[in-house]
């Protein structure tokens, strides 16, 4: 029973903190642009407004469109439940595994892309196709980086990969590859632009244009959770100490904000070069793990 309360406490903590990261990134970006910008609590306001609104949808949709936000949220919440936030105290964190995490993310992405096609919107189909195109490029990068870390630690579990691996060349190189992957997984520049209002340039946002109300709130919350998970795991690998983890995540958020202010979005077909570069870094990480450095 204490472990169950600990697990529920972890979920509550992650759900309460996840939107704050997006608010911090937006605040830093506006500070770098010499703008006042919205409050760091704006993501919470947005979620509360969406939860209070009614849903409006097309009469051409099927059960896939209605069920997709719940599957996306459930799979992402399950991924958050297996994080090693209370490693050693929470039995559920022992189930944490990189491969399980990637499969859970792929499940949510698949159903959201399917829902984008189901709604019958041209922009939804465009966004769904682009999302799966990016996913087909990103998943080999993720698998290769995870393979390098597993080869070094002897396990694909979260805690085993971080335990005693601080400062290893393999971990540093793999983290660089995972950072490039994180930019893609969280729809950040140079892969995607969350601030754009041009439908033809959207990737993730084009898939959810037809959603409103509570389903859109679930999708937005899932995006916040996914971002928190990637930042948490990347920070966990860099500094495997829970006391320093908030600082590591803040540094990662600041780095993302600086990048979004200083670089531009890549053209869609130039993303192949971006992921080839990330894949090459993953190969270097595998070589480093093979020689034991």
> Between residues 62 and 163, which one has the greater pLDDT?
62
Separation in Å, CA 196 to CA 96, 124, 180, 204, 221: 35, 16, 21, 11, 19
Which residues share a beta bridge with 97? 157
pLDDT confidence of 4, banded at 50, 70, 90?
confident
pLDDT of residue 164: 55
pLDDT of residue 38: 93
Does the pLDDT of residue 88 top 80, yes or no?
Answer: no
The token pair at 190 is 């140079």
Instruction: State the average pLDDT over residues 22-31.
Output: 96
The token pair at 97 is 């595994």
pLDDT confidence of 92, banded at 50, 70, 90?
low
Lowest-pLDDT choice from 67-76, 192-201, 229-238: 192-201
Does the pLDDT of residue 83 top 90, yes or no?
Answer: no
pLDDT of residue 272: 96
Lowest-pLDDT choice from 81-85, 89-93, 115-119, 232-236: 89-93
pLDDT of residue 87: 54
Query: What percent of the chain shows pLDDT beyond 90?
Result: 64
Does the pLDDT of residue 283 top 80, yes or no?
Answer: yes
| Distance of alpha carbon 113 from alpha carbon 236, whole angstroms | 30
* Cβ-contact 182, 234 below 8 angstroms: yes
| Distance of alpha carbon 132 from alpha carbon 134, whole angstroms | 5
Instruction: State the average pLDDT over residues 88-108.
Output: 77
pLDDT confidence of 236, banded at 50, 70, 90?
confident
Does the pLDDT of residue 37 top 80, yes or no?
Answer: yes
Other beta carbons less than 10 A from residue 265's beta carbon: 18
Reading phi first (left if > 0) and then psi (alpha if -120 to 50, else beta), residue 34 is in: left
pLDDT confidence of 167, banded at 50, 70, 90?
low
Q: What is the pTM of this model?
A: 0.94
Lowest-pLDDT choice from 57-71, 149-163, 211-225, 270-284: 149-163
| Distance of alpha carbon 114 from alpha carbon 68, whole angstroms | 8
Does the pLDDT of residue 190 top 80, yes or no?
Answer: yes
pLDDT of residue 84: 81
Other beta carbons less than 10 A from residue 36's beta carbon: 9
pLDDT of residue 2: 67
Does the pLDDT of residue 3 top 80, yes or no?
Answer: no
pLDDT of residue 162: 67
| Distance of alpha carbon 231 from alpha carbon 233, whole angstroms | 6
Quick one: which of 280, 276, 281, 283 has its CA closest to 137? Answer: 276
Q: What is the pLDDT of residues 132-147, one digit of tens each?
A: 999 999 999 999 999 9
Lowest-pLDDT choice from 3-7, 41-45, 275-279: 3-7
pLDDT confidence of 95, banded at 50, 70, 90?
low
């Amino acid at each position: 029973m204490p472990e169950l309360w600990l697990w529920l406490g972890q979920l509550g903590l992650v759900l309460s903190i996840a939107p704050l990261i997006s608010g911090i990134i937006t605040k830093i970006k506006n500070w770098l642009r010499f703008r006042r910008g919205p409050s760091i609590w704006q993501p919470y306001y947005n979620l509360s407004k969406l939860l209070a609104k009614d849903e409006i949808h097309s009469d051409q949709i099927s059960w896939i469109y209605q069920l997709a936000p719940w599957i996306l949220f459930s799979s992402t919440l399950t991924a958050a439940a297996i994080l090693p936030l209370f490693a050693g105290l929470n039995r559920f964190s022992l189930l944490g595994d990189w491969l399980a995490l990637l499969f859970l993310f792929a499940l949510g992405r698949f159903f959201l892309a399917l829902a984008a096609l189901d709604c019958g919107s041209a922009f939804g189909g465009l966004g769904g196709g682009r999302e799966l195109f990016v996913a087909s490029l990103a998943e080999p990068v993720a698998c290769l980086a995870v393979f390098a870390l597993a080869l070094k630690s002897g396990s694909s579990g979260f805690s085993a990969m971080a335990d005693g691996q601080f400062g290893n060349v393999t971990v540093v190189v793999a983290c660089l590859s995972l950072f490039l992957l994180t930019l893609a997984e969280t729809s950040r520049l140079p892969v995607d632009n969350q601030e754009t209002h041009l439908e033809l340039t959207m990737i993730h946002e084009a898939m959810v244009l037809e959603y409103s109300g509570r389903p859109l709130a679930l999708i937005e919350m899932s995006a916040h959770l996914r971002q928190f998970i990637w930042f948490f795991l990347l920070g966990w690998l860099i500094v495997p100490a829970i006391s320093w983890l908030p600082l590591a995540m803040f540094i990662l958020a600041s780095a993302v904000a600086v990048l979004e202010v200083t670089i531009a979005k890549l053209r869609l077909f130039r993303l192949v070069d971006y992921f080839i570069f990330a894949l090459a870094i993953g190969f270097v990480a595998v070589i480093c793990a093979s020689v034991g450095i």
